[in-house]
Structure 1
Amino acid sequence: MGIFFTVVLPIIAIFGAGFILQRIRVLDVKSIATTSIYIFLPALVFTSLYEAEYDKGFTIIIIFALFLLFMMILINKVLARMFKWNQSVESATILTTAFMNGGNYGVPVILYSVGSSALPYAIFFMVLQSLIMNFFGVYYASRSKNGISRALKTIFKMPATYAALLAFIFQKIPWEIPEAVYSSLSMLGDAAIPIMMVMLGMQLASITSLKFNWQVLTSAVIVRMVISPVLAVLFIMAFDVNTLIGSVLLIVASMPSAATTTMYAIEFDTEPDMVSSITLVTTLISIFSLTILLNFIV
């Protein structure tokens, strides 16, 4: 229970603060998300990756992210054929199982449970997951002829993409960033994680319509919350991943569905009520599943 009170409960409390605020005041979540995406998150990405020492752990994360993505897609296609789901339901389950909340949920959990040494890896996974989500997420949500081109345009609109590239470049060139500039970036970066956490609570509070198709819901929850971490364990064992990177991979694989998928589902009319339901249920289950998981790996 120590892990629950020291790691999980404080994080859930911050989510809860955002949830309650949104229920009371009904703020414009999109504006807050835009501020986070264009100011706070790029600063966090840049400072974390700029200070990181690059090793094979980052390569392992790339391989794992692609491995998990394609396994989730494959499993959902098998389930869709088995249960005779239509294309819209299949897309909804791919959105909610292939794309986990590795950012405004995964990053704080990793930081407060594993420690600051794991933060660069968590940030790197978050950026990578955002790129993957903005490409494959848009593609599967739209399933249209212009899905790929629209997905590429979405990626190149992401400030975090350029922040990561700049961090890599500035690490290699013999020029030191002025202290005044870097201290401003650090302050913005430090504010990013709590803002992301509050924003997740607000996003969950904005879910107004649910659809409990129990066959689809149960299948998606099992794939996201059970099969995904099992695949992570198998990957860690197969590649003999060290404890630090293994902890990061296992935690992100155990995260609930990304709240961003609800926005995609709404925009492209891909079973938005069902996607919202799966996102909410997996988030609630994660309170207990993460507590159990962290007691084993921390």
Structure 2
Amino acid sequence: MLDLKPISTLAVYLLLPFLVFETFYTTPLNLSFFYITITSVLIMIILIVLGIVAGRFLKFDKKDENAFLLSTIFPNSGNYGIPIILFAFGKQSLAYGMPLMIIHAILMGIVGVYIAANGRGGVKMSVETVLRQPSNYVIIPAILLQQFHIHLPANLFASIQLVGNATIPVVMIILGMQLANVTIRKMKWGRISWATLIRLILSPAIAYGVCLLFPMSDLLRNVIVVMSAMPSAANTTLYAIQFDARPQFVSSCTLITTIFSILSLTVLLNIL
């Protein structure tokens, strides 16, 4: 069986930083960024508390709880969410969708890595792991370059795009290879069902409730709610493999939530 750890290391420490830099460098930030940031953080905190409570109820050990949190907190707002909101709400929704994707990327790169690494050691080790992630160090330079309209040389930016564009295909390959090691009979269907319920049903409901606390437009509210209803992020499998956080369970949740999101998103979009 092929060892996925070297491939996930390549993706986390080489490919992902280029994609993160490209995303932050090319995506303008707007006045709605404050509402997007505060609602995203509040939704994440509520989902963390909900995941911990569910973990206590289901009697998870530390690694199981971390894997459950990875599967329920972070939505696939990039290569899945952006096309969905573009289809549902038109080009004007990208003004909200792109900054929202950026916030999700920041939270996943910090909180997601912390959760994934927490099963291998204490708080100190988890914090050190977060600080060792190169993708977290390209965010501020990329935003500053974009805000001050400093253009990189064309050849340099083309090279960054070339490496960054390889990230999603590699992550998809890693996810597929991880799923190849999972058999249907060995899937923990009870736990996966709980994760699916939280990710696809409770998460958008929580997002809707949080959005009601702020004076935002209907379009912004709808984008936040729909993005919160996305299936589990594919990058969570990457982190689960890298930090040994029950990768089979996390990849299974990513697969199952993606399949069932076809139905849940159809219903949600018709409601909105």
| TMscore range, shorter length | 0.7 to 0.9
| Matching of residues 108-147 of structure 1 within 5 Å | 108-143=83-118, 144-145=121-122, 146-147=125-126
Select the residue among 145, 149, 152 that pairs with 2:131.
152
**Distance change >3 Å, CA 85–CA 103, structure 1 → 2:** same
**Distance change >3 Å, CA 30–CA 160, structure 1 → 2:** same
**2:3 corresponds to:** none
* Per-residue CA distance 1:169-215 (angstroms, 9 max, x = gap): x15xxxx759xx589969x87xx89x777666545433222342122
Q: Identify which range, 254-263 or 118-127, moves more after superposition.
A: 118-127
Is 2:181 aligned against 1:209? Answer: yes
**Distance change >3 Å, CA 41–CA 232, structure 1 → 2:** same
**Distance change >3 Å, CA 58–CA 271, structure 1 → 2:** same
Cα distance, 1:158 vs. partner? 5.1
Cα distance, 1:220 vs. partner? 0.8
Select the residue among 46, 60, 68 that pairs with 2:35.
60
**1:73 corresponds to:** 48
Is 2:271 aligned against 1:296? Answer: yes
Is 2:142 aligned against 1:163? Answer: yes
Select the residue among 207, 223, 230 that pairs with 1:248.
223
Q: Is the 8 A contact 1:127 1:161 kept in 2?
A: no
* Per-residue CA distance 1:8-39 (angstroms, 9 max, x = gap): xxxxxxxxxxxxxxxxxxxx798788886455
**Distance change >3 Å, CA 212–CA 33, structure 1 → 2:** same
**Residue 46 of structure 1 aligns to which amino acid in structure 2?**
Y
Distance 1:273 1:215 in 2: 14
Select the residue among 190, 194, 198 that pairs with 1:223.
198
**2:239 corresponds to:** 264
**1:23 corresponds to:** none
Aligned length: 258
Q: Is the 8 A contact 2:171 2:238 kept in 1?
A: no
Distance 1:238 1:97 in 2: 23
Distance 1:30 1:120 in 2: 33
Cα distance, 1:259 vs. partner? 0.9
Cα distance, 1:44 vs. partner? 4.2
Distance 1:276 1:120 in 2: 30
| Matching of residues 10-21 of structure 1 within 5 Å | none
Compute the TM-score of the two structures, normalised by the length of structure 1.
Answer: 0.74
RMSD of aligned Cα (Å): 3.2
**Distance change >3 Å, CA 201–CA 88, structure 1 → 2:** closer
Distance 2:76 2:115 in 1: 17
**Distance change >3 Å, CA 43–CA 265, structure 1 → 2:** closer
Cα distance, 1:100 vs. partner? 1.2
Q: Is the 8 A contact 1:36 1:196 kept in 2?
A: yes
Is there any run of 5+ residues in structure 2 with no aligned partner, and where?
1-6
* Per-residue CA distance 1:229-282 (angstroms, 9 max, x = gap): 000111122324212211220111001101111111112221111111111100
Q: Is the 8 A contact 2:230 2:261 kept in 1?
A: yes
**Residue 204 of structure 2 aligns to which amino acid in structure 1?**
P
**Distance change >3 Å, CA 289–CA 204, structure 1 → 2:** farther
**Distance change >3 Å, CA 104–CA 249, structure 1 → 2:** same
* Per-residue CA distance 1:100-138 (angstroms, 9 max, x = gap): 111121122223332222223222222221221121112
